[in-house]
Homo-oligomer: A and B are copies of this chain.
Amino acid sequence: VSGNDLARFAGIPSFMRLPVHADAEGLDAAFVGVPMDHGTSWRPGARFGPQQIRTQSAMIRPYALQTGAAPFDGLTCADIGDVALSTFDLRAAIGAIETAYGAILSTGAVPMTMGGDHTVTLPILRATAARHGPVALVHVDAHADVNDEMFGARECHGTVFRRAYEEGLLIAPKVWQVGLRGTGYSAGDFDEPRGWGFNLVTAPELWHKSLTGLGEHIRAQIGAAKVYVSFDIDSLDPAFAPGTGTPEIGGLTVPQVLELIRALRGLQIVGCDLVEVAPPYDPSGNTALLAANLLFELLCILPGVPYR
């Protein structure tokens, strides 16, 4: 819907005002929300992430002026709504997500996920590996999310990528974790995943620099492997993305993450997520506006998108 036919603030909001479909059948890319936050350890609220991302996405027009991407010329896209899941039982929710993504992936559509806390990525990776086998991973985040457990929980937003590694869902040497920082318990927090083959890039290594080069290097290293992109909004500095549950100082800038995403064009991406947008902590909506734009940028680098 063009902003000149119906004002941008009007209408019942879907992602970028796309058509609403009941399922992913016939789609090349399916936007889907996973509204939950019971996997979060600090500030909850990400359950309202999909809602606010959809609302803010009304500002985005279909052509990427900066890169020339015209995704809707080449891909059939729709918003298929939110996964139904239990608010009270984290384990049940994780199961429900895996089932829902199994169904989405069976149609051949690429799922473009609006979280939700980062826990959602674990069942998505399970469904993805079930369909595609182990995948390469570009994981942009302040945190490596490789804890063994948190307060007794083995499946929550801080343990996702250890579980994924243990379960063989990932091609370990083709895993890139970018933007890491913060505090921890020992040097082992980073050394252990490096031992598995993961490539960890901390934020201080990237300060003041363009990320185009890093992005090109990652693209080259991953090559033709199928790849999943998991984007935690807290990879960005809280100045750019205050509306999140576990903010960490000293993060990436918006130009950096745009450079990184744009440099990944050409990869065989089989799924993307944008997680940890927590609206109660940014009533201005700017964090969700950023998230919506990043999802659009990820859409623009999917296989099959024409540039003009």
Contact = CB atoms under 8 A, between A and B. Distances in A.
B210 A208 contact: yes
Contact of A44 (B45, B186, B246, B293): B45
Contact of A59 (B79, B90, B202, B246): B246
Contacts of A283: 283
Interface in A261-308: 280-284, 286, 289-290, 293, 296, 308
A249 B238 contact: no
Interface residues of A, number: 100
Given A82-B11, A185-B62, A281-B280, A44 B47 contact: yes
Interface in A237-264: 237-240, 242, 246-247, 249-251, 254-255, 258-259
A62 B7 CA distance: 31
Contact of A12 (B54, B187, B237): B54
Given A61-B185, A63-B183, A150 B88 contact: yes
Interface stretch (A30-38, A101-109, A169-177, A224-232): A30-38
Copies, count = 6
5 contacts: A8-B42, A9-B48, A238-B286, A249-B254, A250-B293
Interface stretch (A64-72, A121-129, A131-139, A215-223): A64-72
A76 interface: no
A177 B169 CA distance: 48
Contacts of A184: 61, 63, 65
A76 to B, nearest CB: 19
Interface in A40-84: 40-45, 47-48, 50-51, 54-55, 59-66, 68, 70, 79, 81-84
A253 to B, nearest CB: 8
